[in-house]
Chains A and B, each alone.
Chain A
Amino acid sequence: MKIKLTFWRAVFVVVMVLGLYSTYVRYAHGLGAVTNMSDQFPWGFWIGFDCLCGVMLAAGGFCIVGAVYLFNVESLHSVVRPAVLTAFLGYLLFIVGLLFDLGRPWFIWHQLIYMNPHSVMFEVGMCVMTYTTVLFFEFLPNVFERFNLKRPIKWIKRFYPVLIVLGILLSTLHQSSLGSLYLIMPSKLHPFWYSPALPFFFFGSAVAVGLAMTIFESTQSAKAMGRHLEIEVLVQLGGALLVALWVNALLRLEDYWRRDMLLQIFKPSYEAYFLWLELLFSFVIPITMLSFKKVRLSPQGLYLASVISLFGFITNRLNVSLIGFETYVGHHYVPKWTEFSVTLMIIAMGFFLFAVAVKYLPIFPPGRELAVNLSPGTEASHAMAAPVLTHAGD
């Protein structure tokens, strides 16, 4: 097998090499050498992005499984497998990220024997552990099917109702609990982001992100694999996304109104700029776009609106975990390059594993291989991931 060196493969190699170097520094010299975290900023980019955003971006799994198996939305059946795969990989990579961030990762199993039920972190840990196991079983039929093992599939199918209910229950719990983590810091987190409703915001935005992420990954993999794009599915997801965005936006608005902050959020300040960025990308732009029927019916429009909202919600998580503490601490926190490089490596691993899984496992229904014509306009934003997806597996 000859491996051609394309631009994106070269990028992949560079990202991996730098990532491995940072990994070496992390485990050979400690957190202080590899991050800009400090006693003033004990949680940095790894918690903000790898953990908070990672779990949020993996929410598609429970959203789609819930829609299809709980509410019997048959038409979404074709995206269940990619959504579950994304979620499974997402959680695995979240755990990888955690192994970097924890000071004593070799004691991570202490979670199982020394339990503190009052701790939100304990709840998150337990839920994530169990949910990853659930996702493993939801993903397993792909592997069995690949090797034509009918008996174990039947066996797992028998437990499917339990897996589904458990998966959604655990997701509800830990997606919201990631927000509850911050409830303990009322005097530290900026009032733009500290709210008693944080758990509701985190859960609500996870649902919206789950839908947006499914649109993103379906479009992306359809393009990368030259497959037929199921436009009806995307349109349906886009409609649901619009509703989810509205619900989230109204929740946030109501919260600011109830806490008498409506005027404050419009006053220019360091935090306000980041809040505007977040609100603009997570609500204003995608809601405006999706309000036009023309956008809601076009794959490009749906794709763009989803990507913009994803960017918005990522900004939200980083605001809650990093920007919201800067005034309290009194100085800025800028991640070290090695922190970015570890995160990039984890993301690259995600794309790589997704591509490998899609290539060798029956994730997408067979047949129907047809080139899709996406307008060149969206090409640029695709460029980030598509080439990795296309070639990483060969």
Chain B
Amino acid sequence: MSKAILYDATICIGCKQCEVACAQQNNLTYNDSVAAESVQSAHKYTVVLTKEDKFMRRLCMHCNQPACASACPVGALHKTKVGPVVYDVWKCIGCRYCMVACPFNQPKYEWGSLNPRVRKCIMCPDRIAAGKQTACAEICPTGATKFGERDDLINEARQRIRENPGNYVPRIYGLNEVGGTSVLIISSANVEEYGYPASAKIGDTPVPEYTGRVMEKVPDFIPVWSLVLGGIYWISHRRDEVAAAEAEERAQEKKNGRAQ
């Protein structure tokens, strides 16, 4: 079973405790100026956005089939069975294909560093392994960020929407988007207003499939194309050889004819 995070924007009070806990968990500085930043960056993996009296969290969605992991040439990013999409800094060569590939624009980069790393929420894999919740879920005073089994959280989200239909946009963002994600969001305003990509735009197809359709043909393409190329080479050179041999034969015959 895989773990997930359910974020219910309707009960979020915008206290930004999740930002604080996240920074602490990942050894990042958190002060007033960081708190005031409303964009995610290499030093701020999650952010609570405010619009009038409503709030919205942004963090890595931990896709079921992550674009970043399929894009990474050295496999520095991968989805664990438990749910988190984690990063192995040692493997990373810094090509930044993960950043370009991510439909949610989650991986961020240490642009000022001489040995830069890709930074994003990794869903506290150590805490999960120790049987704990993620730092953000644990600290959340209202339960707006809730950690648990993905299936249970989906049921709970559905139930909340059913019981309070007037309170919610009737959908769970992340249920089917790009093939489903391990972060689920329910809210009273459309998540798109806070910079999330529209469901229609990213679709339900897991992003790795777009390149997978081409990549799966490569193992067949290599031997077939080599044979075709080799064949063409052989034929065009064989023609020359035959022509040369025939010419020689003719010359020989001519010589013999004259001799007789």
| A residues adjacent to B (C-beta < 8 A) | 27-33, 37-40, 42-43, 69-72, 101-105, 107-108, 110-111, 114-125, 161, 164-166, 168-169, 172-173, 177, 180-181, 183-188, 196, 199
Bound-complex Cα distance A104 to B115 (A): 6
Q: Does B249 contact A (CB under 8 A)?
A: no
| Contact A115 to B75, CB < 8 A, known contacts A110-B91, A168-B229 | yes
Bound-complex Cα distance A105 to B96 (A): 12
Q: Does B10 contact A (CB under 8 A)?
A: no
Chain A residues whose CB sits within 8 angstroms of the CB of B236 once the complex forms: 70-72
* Contact with A165, one of B212, B218, B230 (Cβ below 8 angstroms): B230
Chain A residues whose CB sits within 8 angstroms of the CB of B35 once the complex forms: none
* Contact with A120, one of B42, B214, B225, B232 (Cβ below 8 angstroms): B214
A-B contact pairs, 6 of them (CB 8 A): A33-B112, A39-B42, A42-B99, A104-B93, A114-B76, A172-B225
Bound-complex Cα distance A26 to B197 (A): 33
Q: Does B5 contact A (CB under 8 A)?
A: no
Stretch of B15-23, B52-60, B154-162, B202-210 at the chain-chain interface:
B202-210
| Contact A30 to B96, CB < 8 A, known contacts A116-B72, A116-B74, A119-B73 | no
Chain A residues whose CB sits within 8 angstroms of the CB of B100 once the complex forms: 42-43, 184-185, 188
Chain A residue nearest to B41 (CB atoms) is A39
**A121 in contact with B41 (CB, 8 Å):** no
**A103 in contact with B93 (CB, 8 Å):** yes
Q: How near does chain A come to B19, taking the closest CB pair, in angstroms?
A: 17
Bound-complex Cα distance A271 to B34 (A): 36
Q: Does B27 contact A (CB under 8 A)?
A: no
What 5 A-B pairs have minimum CB-CB distances, sorted nearest first? Answer: A103-B94, A32-B111, A42-B99, A121-B73, A122-B73
Chain B residues whose CB sits within 8 angstroms of the CB of A114 once the complex forms: 74-76, 91
Chain B residue nearest to A31 (CB atoms) is B111
Chain B residues whose CB sits within 8 angstroms of the CB of A173 once the complex forms: 218, 221-222
Stretch of B101-109, B125-133, B136-144, B185-193 at the chain-chain interface:
B101-109
Q: How near does chain A come to B139, taking the closest CB pair, in angstroms?
A: 26
Other A-B pairs, 4, CB within 8 Å; known A39-B108, A115-B73: A32-B111, A107-B93, A123-B218, A187-B103
| Contact A165 to B76, CB < 8 A, known contacts A42-B100, A119-B71, A185-B100 | no
Chain B residues whose CB sits within 8 angstroms of the CB of A183 once the complex forms: 210-211, 213-214
Chain B residues whose CB sits within 8 angstroms of the CB of A72 once the complex forms: 236-237, 239-240
Q: What are the interface flags for B142-166 relative to A under an 8 Å C-beta threshold, 1 for contact and 0 otherwise?
A: 0000000000000000000000000
Bound-complex Cα distance A247 to B190 (A): 45
Chain A residue nearest to B118 (CB atoms) is A103
| Contact A119 to B70, CB < 8 A, known contacts A39-B99, A161-B233, A199-B214 | yes
Q: How near does chain A come to B109, taking the closest CB pair, in angstroms?
A: 6
Interface-centre pick from A30, A72, A120, A168 (highest chain B CB count, 10 A): A120
| Contact A186 to B210, CB < 8 A, known contacts A42-B109, A116-B74 | yes
Chain A residues whose CB sits within 8 angstroms of the CB of B221 once the complex forms: 173
**B73 in contact with A169 (CB, 8 Å):** no
Chain B residues whose CB sits within 8 angstroms of the CB of A196 once the complex forms: 210, 213
Chain B interface bracket (under 10, 10 to 19, 20 to 34, 35 or more)? 35 or more
Q: How near does chain A come to B97, taking the closest CB pair, in angstroms?
A: 5
**B225 in contact with A180 (CB, 8 Å):** no
**B226 in contact with A165 (CB, 8 Å):** yes
Chain A residue nearest to B201 (CB atoms) is A187
Bound-complex Cα distance A268 to B230 (A): 48
Q: Does B113 contact A (CB under 8 A)?
A: yes
Q: How near does chain B come to A198, taking the closest CB pair, in angstroms?
A: 9
**A120 in contact with B222 (CB, 8 Å):** no
Q: How near does chain A come to B46, taking the closest CB pair, in angstroms?
A: 15
Q: How near does chain A come to B4, taking the closest CB pair, in angstroms?
A: 22
Chain A residue nearest to B39 (CB atoms) is A39
Bound-complex Cα distance A107 to B207 (A): 27
Q: Does B49 contact A (CB under 8 A)?
A: no
**A116 in contact with B75 (CB, 8 Å):** yes
Q: Does B95 contact A (CB under 8 A)?
A: yes
Q: How near does chain B come to A348, taking the closest CB pair, in angstroms?
A: 25
Bound-complex Cα distance A69 to B236 (A): 8
Q: How near does chain B come to A364, taking the closest CB pair, in angstroms?
A: 25
Q: What are the interface flags for B12-44 relative to A under an 8 Å C-beta threshold, 1 for contact and 0 otherwise?
A: 000000000000000000000000000111100
Bound-complex Cα distance A119 to B207 (A): 12
Bound-complex Cα distance A27 to B212 (A): 35
Bound-complex Cα distance A125 to B203 (A): 29
**B215 in contact with A185 (CB, 8 Å):** no
Bound-complex Cα distance A323 to B214 (A): 24
Q: How near does chain A come to B77, taking the closest CB pair, in angstroms?
A: 9
Q: How near does chain A come to B142, taking the closest CB pair, in angstroms?
A: 30
Bound-complex Cα distance A125 to B74 (A): 10
**A165 in contact with B91 (CB, 8 Å):** no
Q: Does B124 contact A (CB under 8 A)?
A: no
Chain B residue nearest to A177 (CB atoms) is B214
Q: How near does chain A come to B78, taking the closest CB pair, in angstroms?
A: 9
